[in-house]
Structure 1
Amino acid sequence: MDLKPLPRPEHPDPYTVLDRRFVYDSPWIRIREDRFRHRRGAEGRYAVCGFHRTACGVLALDDQDRVVLVGQWRYPLEAYSWEIPEGGGDISESPFEAMRRELAEEAGLAAQVWEPLAFFHTSNSSTEEEAFLFLATGLSPFDGHQAEDDEELLLHREPFQDCLRRVLAGEITDSLTVVALLALQGGRSGVAAALDPALAERFFQRPQDHPSAGRARWRELDGP
């Protein structure tokens, strides 16, 4: 069943940007501050965090319907986290290329079948980051697996239904993992919808060839 578009205002953007400036830049993130005027009269400053890499993840399922999970310490949270294999794709590689590499590097696996699963924005109040999630099946060992020198990873396979229970219990909290599991459950429950064809193509295209509107904003700055 085709879904009708959700309603939106005739002129949805209420902001006039007065100026932009770089605040911070690193190999992973960049921060800028925009000075704006809202059409209702308010003026203020908006800090925006941008990511040089594209957030990507893969829900890898084996032939026993078990999810491949990676365990690691998450520095910002000061907590241990179990997650699907995920990583940041370079601007010159597609999400598919990035996740095929990450699945091999993190889990020592290759997959025969790759399907786009879900697309979402990780935190749209403060960043323009996009996330591309795949479903991968037909798993097999990949030779040459070696962890990075700043990674300590554990691998575990957990039944899909148990992963869902852990999400609802607040034990699995990583956003890419939560969305991937719920998206697959939606499909299995018969409530899934096909991705827009243009969006589905982006899973296999390089970000430098189709910058999002949020990412393209950074080109307007004279900075790093």
Structure 2
Amino acid sequence: MSLPPLSVPADPNPYRVTDRKLLYDSPWIRLREDRAEHRAGGRCLYAVCGFRRTACGVLALDAQDRVVLVGQWRYPLEAYTWELPEGGGEAHESPFESIRRELAEEAGLVAATWEPLAFFHTSNSSTDEETFLFLASDLGPSDGRHGPEDTEELTCRREPFEQCVARVLSGEITDSLTVVALLALKARRDGAAGVLDPVLAERFFQRPDRHPSAGRARWDNLEPS
């Protein structure tokens, strides 16, 4: 079912930027500070975090409808979490190329059947990160050429799909990519009829520089506007 787009105001951007300053830059993230004036009269200081890599995840299902989960210690949280195979795609890779590699590295698996599942922004109040989630099935062992990085210590397990959904609703599984992927597939199975826009679906198989968002493109021009 195709729905009409939600309306957008004629003049949606209420900010006039007076200054932009780059504070930090690394191969993974960059941070800047913007000073802006709101048309309602207020002034604000806005910190923006930019992600250089594309967030990708895969809900991989085996023939018994079990989800492939990866357990690892998440440094910022200081907690151990269970989540889908996921990672950051390089600029020269499409999300599809990135997540195929991650599935092999983190779970030692390949999949014969792939399809786009969901697209979202992980935290749009402070970052420009874009996330591409895939559904994969017809699993088999990888060729062993890819493995975890030397800064990773991973554990793999398979959990029935409905149990994974229950763990999301109980608050046990909290990783955002995993939560969105599981609930998206649950909604689809329960009859939700949403379909990804064909242009958006193509982006799952294209390099990021083929479709830079306005927010991500901003890093190439930090002049006030």
TM-score by length of 2: 0.96
Could you say which residue in structure 1 is the equivalent of 2:127? Answer: 127
The alignment status of 1:95 with 2:75, answered yes or no, reads no
Amino acid at match of 2:91: I
In the alignment, the residues of structure 2 paired with residue 162 and residue 98 of structure 1 have an alpha-carbon distance, to the nearest angstrom, of 27
Amino acid at match of 1:14: P
Could you say which residue in structure 2 is the equivalent of 1:179? Answer: 180
Could you say which residue in structure 2 is the equivalent of 1:49? Answer: 49
In the alignment, the residues of structure 2 paired with residue 19 and residue 146 of structure 1 have an alpha-carbon distance, to the nearest angstrom, of 44
Say which SS state the counterpart of residue 147 (structure 1) adopts. coil
In the alignment, the residues of structure 1 paired with residue 118 and residue 210 of structure 2 have an alpha-carbon distance, to the nearest angstrom, of 20
* Percentage of matched positions with identical amino acids: 72
In the alignment, the residues of structure 2 paired with residue 181 and residue 68 of structure 1 have an alpha-carbon distance, to the nearest angstrom, of 12
Amino acid at match of 1:92: H
Could you say which residue in structure 1 is the equivalent of 2:199? Answer: 198
1:104-159 Cα distance to aligned partner (Å, 9 max, x none): 00000000011000000000000010100000011000021422110000000000
**Equivalences for 1:37-186 in 2 at 5 Å?**
37-144=37-144, 145-186=146-187
In the alignment, the residues of structure 2 paired with residue 166 and residue 93 of structure 1 have an alpha-carbon distance, to the nearest angstrom, of 32
Amino acid at match of 2:143: D
Could you say which residue in structure 2 is the equivalent of 1:17? Answer: 17
Amino acid at match of 1:68: V
Say which SS state the counterpart of residue 82 (structure 1) adopts. strand
Q: CA deviation at 1:162?
A: 0.2
Q: CA deviation at 1:212?
A: 1.0
1:74-133 Cα distance to aligned partner (Å, 9 max, x none): 000010000000000011100000000000000000000110000000000000101000
Amino acid at match of 2:158: R
Say which SS state the counterpart of residue 177 (structure 1) adopts. helix
1:162-199 Cα distance to aligned partner (Å, 9 max, x none): 00000000000000000000000111111131111111
In the alignment, the residues of structure 2 paired with residue 4 and residue 95 of structure 1 have an alpha-carbon distance, to the nearest angstrom, of 27
In the alignment, the residues of structure 1 paired with residue 5 and residue 202 of structure 2 have an alpha-carbon distance, to the nearest angstrom, of 20
Amino acid at match of 1:180: A
Amino acid at match of 1:162: Q
1:51-86 Cα distance to aligned partner (Å, 9 max, x none): 010000000000000000000000000100000000
Could you say which residue in structure 2 is the equivalent of 1:215? Answer: 216
Q: CA deviation at 1:3?
A: 1.4
Structure 1's consecutive aligned runs of 4 or more residues displaced over 3 angstroms after TM superposition are: none
In the alignment, the residues of structure 2 paired with residue 60 and residue 215 of structure 1 have an alpha-carbon distance, to the nearest angstrom, of 29
- More divergent stretch after superposition (109-118 vs 188-197): 188-197
Say which SS state the counterpart of residue 116 (structure 2) adopts. strand
Q: Which runs of 5+ in 1 are unaligned?
A: none
In the alignment, the residues of structure 1 paired with residue 186 and residue 63 of structure 2 have an alpha-carbon distance, to the nearest angstrom, of 17
Say which SS state the counterpart of residue 4 (structure 2) adopts. coil
